[in-house]
Structure 1
């Protein structure tokens, strides 16, 4: 979920083919990057489905060969997105930058649903703050996530109705699957969610897998609690897709928190089936 470094130029070229514009992708690399990551495109790009997400939807430039949820849904289930997806993106950033409004602007009057892959980076940031104070810090972060999520949905729906009329949007959020903290980081310094990161910063936990799986369960419970308060929000549970608690199986993982191609294939299959009754796309 942490932002992967911009290391491979070829990665940029391959990644950018997922942009929502219809022009020649090689004409203006910068414009395509803005379109994909911030929904700032050259004019409206009508679509029925929007997407705002972190590295579970787009790992960005470091690993172009890994097809995360966004390209899986586009290539295998025929989704046509407008979106703002970028590795390392936090829910806090989305709300602060008003990305929900930009996605709505790009999607137009026919957009019905926005898919969300957010929250993981808000939990993972500044792990050293957890040292000696895990429960308090986690509670504070979860409260902020919940408040930001509700603010994004309420403000987004008010904006959509004001601009285009019609009913409010449906917002679908997933809760990730279990990490595997014992995986080796693929790139040095990108070891979010790894036991090696815990050890390096002095975050001592009795069992890294138990710690991360309990944290992930708590996040999923937070989403369940939020949908009871916000009728426009729909929750998709992706846990136990890649092997189950306390950690996903290594053969399905790229690193500690991201699946590999096979893993994302399973995740996309499950996610597409769960959201089909809402989106009516893919089957």
Structure 2
């Protein structure tokens, strides 16, 4: 999915830039894409809520068209976001690129909360490293996720207070619901979280669903642990929204790790209600 999105984005931008040389190549569409996907904005777009996320918050150009958490929060719950959401984004990339600072610049002094949808791609990357060493590699990756998440929050709040004063931001991170590794990929070459990909890289799993659900539970538990150390981090559990352990139900899924439109509607309903006491938006 992330490969398809990248090529689609590049293709659209190429056409828009070269189809009419009499116009400014940076069209409104491109400017909006840069702002929403990469946090590169032309000045502030003041908002009380920020968002930094992966494909669970990005716009999926699958078949059928899918509205993920961000567009559903915007369209159904009246959220106005400052943020950067792009399929395939890792927490490591966000910290390395300083996206938290860009989102704070974009949101301005009135922003109080930043929603995070991150961590899944950090776990899924380079699956071959897990071969014969699952527990050690997972522990290392979880340690890196913990360090990066704490750095994101600490440096983001220090920057916000230095620039605008006031109280630190509240950061809300959701865990993912259970994948379904037996789903058929929408695009054959984009099968993250699927048994087909595990098999292809040589990661032999007696029970792919048991492996992915156990790893998903461990990731959610990690997020809970981090909230105990970081008072400005709030965790929302989205598990069991799409059918429960070990795998989400196929009728709610687009592929192995992404919900379909109905699935994201259920996830957004649960998420919006959970965060309402913090954001005071949507109801």
* TM-score between the two structures when normalised by the length of structure 2: 0.92
Partner Cα separation in structure 2 for residue 217 and residue 151 of structure 1: 23
Is residue 70 of structure 2 the alignment partner of residue 36 of structure 1? no
Name the residue aligned to 1:269: 269
Name the residue aligned to 1:153: 153
Structure 1 contact 39–99 (Cα < 8 Å) conserved:
yes
Q: Does the C-alpha gap of structure 1 residues 38 and 7 become closer, same or farther in structure 2, counting only changes over 3 Å?
A: closer
Partner Cα separation in structure 2 for residue 222 and residue 27 of structure 1: 42
Partner Cα separation in structure 2 for residue 244 and residue 252 of structure 1: 11
Name the residue aligned to 1:231: 231
Name the residue aligned to 2:213: 213
Q: What's the secondary structure of 2:176's corresponding residue?
A: coil
Q: Does the C-alpha gap of structure 1 residues 251 and 52 become closer, same or farther in structure 2, counting only changes over 3 Å?
A: same
Deviation of 1:29 after TM superposition, in Å, equals 3.1
Q: Does the C-alpha gap of structure 1 residues 89 and 277 become closer, same or farther in structure 2, counting only changes over 3 Å?
A: same
Q: What's the secondary structure of 2:84's corresponding residue?
A: strand
Deviation of 1:256 after TM superposition, in Å, equals 0.1
Name the residue aligned to 2:87: 87
Q: What's the secondary structure of 2:172's corresponding residue?
A: strand
Partner Cα separation in structure 1 for residue 12 and residue 138 of structure 2: 35
Q: Does the C-alpha gap of structure 1 residues 115 and 63 become closer, same or farther in structure 2, counting only changes over 3 Å?
A: farther
| Count of residue pairs brought into register by the alignment | 271
* TM-score between the two structures when normalised by the length of structure 1: 0.92
Q: What's the secondary structure of 1:116's corresponding residue?
A: strand
Name the residue aligned to 1:104: 104
Partner Cα separation in structure 1 for residue 102 and residue 206 of structure 2: 44
Partner Cα separation in structure 1 for residue 46 and residue 173 of structure 2: 21
Partner Cα separation in structure 1 for residue 98 and residue 7 of structure 2: 28
Q: What's the secondary structure of 2:188's corresponding residue?
A: coil
Residues 3-56 of structure 1: CA distance to partner in whole angstroms, max 9, x if unpaired?
A: 5444557x969xxxxxxxxxxxx9333322210112111111100000000000
Name the residue aligned to 1:187: 187
Residues 211-235 of structure 1: CA distance to partner in whole angstroms, max 9, x if unpaired?
A: 0000000000000000000000000
Q: Does the C-alpha gap of structure 1 residues 164 and 76 become closer, same or farther in structure 2, counting only changes over 3 Å?
A: same
Q: Unmatched 5+ residue regions in structure 1? A: 14-25
Q: Unmatched 5+ residue regions in structure 2? A: 14-25
Runs of 4+ in 1 over 6 A off after TM superposition: none
Q: What's the secondary structure of 1:155's corresponding residue?
A: helix
Structure 1 contact 191–197 (Cα < 8 Å) conserved:
yes
* Root-mean-square deviation (Å): 1.9
Q: How does 1:118-137 map to 2 (within 5 A)?
A: 118-137=118-137
Partner Cα separation in structure 2 for residue 143 and residue 39 of structure 1: 27
Partner Cα separation in structure 1 for residue 236 and residue 207 of structure 2: 27
